[in-house]
Chains A and B, each alone.
Chain A
Amino acid sequence: MSGHHGHGHDHHHHDNHFTDMEARVKALETVLTEKGLIDPAAIDAIVETYETKVGPRNGARVVARAWSDPEFADWLKRDATAAIASLGFTGRQGEHMRAVFNTPDTHNLVVCTLCSCYPWSVLGLPPIWYKAPPYRSRAIIDPRGVLAEFGLELPAGKKIRVWDSTAELRYLVVPERPDGTEGFNEEQLADLVTRDSMIGAGVALSPEAAR
């Protein structure tokens, strides 16, 4: 163990958190590995999964399919877990999925005020802002203000529904299909579906914006 990071410091400056945490996690991993309780290669495999295999491209494919295939969209509404599983996306933090559809009348926004519940199977690991106190505190009381910080100004007459993920259901927002995408195939449509649009913190890109 390198000594200079030290233990037992009680730093109160954010700047020091990183080096403190580096030492702390290193100590934890070393102890657990020496005890045979964890396999460092398993950690590599977990990280690789969420860096390369399980991410928002999964959700974008679900949305693109729903935009292209009304029967799939209907299935997604009735039984999101099964519909999403049919595209091969299952597992941790996606066991009990619900899809909520934006309409011309209503914009949906998802938050977890109590922790960081997020649909990993379709969106991968949550971004920092989703897990941090500012979003968790304000999305539920001032969603319009929050959306404005993402550059999204909702029309005053548009209803906003905020879904607080307080149980084990995980929510995927299906954004509205952008205009000018007639004739697009699923691959082209998926390119318009951003991670934020599937949380409700944005809308899908227009074909011009995606270019």
Chain B
Amino acid sequence: MNGPHDLGGQHGLGPIAPEKDEPYFHAEWEKRALGVTLSCGAFGAWTIDESRHARECLPPATYLSASYYEIWTRALEILLKRHGFVTQAELDAGHMLEIGTEPKRVLKAEMVAGVLARGGPCDRPVEAPPRFAAGDRVRTKNFNPETHTRLPRYARAKMGVVEAVQGSFVFPDDNAHGKGENPQWVYTVVFDGGEIWGEGADPMLTVSIDAWESYLERV
């Protein structure tokens, strides 16, 4: 979707403002927000792609003014309601009011080290060989789906060169919407800065994205 999250190349969003000796957390609630988000991810009720899509579906004004832990928390509330784990009435009351969905798994303290160390690999085998090889010239697709995609707007309908075949991975555009993992080959595709940004682009700049095979056409 062409949502507020797709920020590459936008102007006017202010200075970077790196903070010297930045702490890991700026408030206690951020710690809890991180832990609650990861704990709920362990339910196995939604995928990382569905959670990313929930975040990018927040209203643009909210998205752009919120800290990232706020974005996570707001999206988590939506996911928990969507999947029947909590109701808005419960969130308003701050207490349990009814029995909800049973998760596949509840993350207990003793499971944390193992779960974090395993992570959630997204590589999946595909039977077809990769359509492209390093050195191939490709054009990215031009499309504007209202659904989830990982092809940023700035990189649509652009000419680039495949630099590497990176393996085959879950296809987020489908997986975010419960349409299955449908893995595809992923390629690192490199573009000249001028191809992406045109006049005035830094002549020494190249930009790369990691693109699923269906984002690419041979030229």
Contact between chains at A161 and B169 (CB < 8 Å): no
A89 to B147, CA, bound (A): 35
CA gap between A124 and B39 in the complex, in Å: 18
| Chain B proximity mask over A125-158: 1 for CB below 8 Å, otherwise 0 | 1011101111111101111101001100000111
Give A130 Cβ to nearest chain B Cβ, in Å: 9
Which chain A residue lies CB-closest to B122? Answer: A168
Nearest chain B CB to A32 CB, angstrom units: 7
- From A35, A92, A146, A164, B119 is in contact (CB under 8 Å) with A92
Choose from A27, A136, A159, A165 the contact partner of B91 (Cβ within 8 Å).
A27
Cα–Cα, bound, A156→B205 (Å): 11
Assembled-state Cα–Cα distance A196/B69 (Å): 21
Contact-size category for A: 35 or more
Q: Which residues of A contact B (CB under 8 A)?
A: 1, 7-8, 14, 17-18, 21-22, 24-32, 34-39, 41-47, 49-51, 54-55, 90-96, 98, 111, 113-116, 121, 124-125, 127-129, 131-138, 140-144, 146, 149-150, 156-169, 196, 201
Q: Does B35 lie within 8 Å of A42, measured CB to CB?
A: yes
Whether B205 and A160, one on each chain, are in contact in the complex, defined by CB atoms closer than 8 angstroms, is yes
A21 touches B73 (CB 8 A): yes
State the majority secondary structure of interface residues on B.
mixed
The 6 A-B pairs of least Cβ separation, nearest first, read A43-B35, A113-B8, A167-B210, A41-B109, A34-B96, A1-B94
Known: A31-B90, A91-B119. A134 touches B13 (CB 8 A): yes
A144 CA to B201 CA in the complex, in Å?
11
User: Is the CB–CB distance between A113 and B29 below 8 Å?
Assistant: no
In the complex, A156→B25 CA distance in Å? 37
A142 touches B202 (CB 8 A): yes
| Chain A residues within 8 Å of B5, by CB | 114-115
Q: Which residues of B contact A (CB under 8 A)?
A: 5-11, 13-19, 22, 24-29, 31-36, 38-40, 43, 52, 55-56, 64-70, 73, 76-77, 80, 85-86, 90-96, 99-100, 103, 106-109, 111-113, 115-123, 150-152, 154-155, 166-167, 169-170, 186, 188, 190, 196-197, 202, 204-212
16 A-B interface contacts by CB (under 8 A): A7-B92, A38-B36, A38-B107, A39-B106, A47-B31, A54-B116, A91-B118, A96-B122, A114-B56, A129-B17, A133-B7, A141-B197, A142-B202, A159-B204, A164-B209, A168-B123
Q: Are B119 and A49 in contact (CB under 8 A)?
A: no
Given A30-B94, A92-B116, A115-B5, residue A166 in contact with residue B19 (CB < 8 A): no
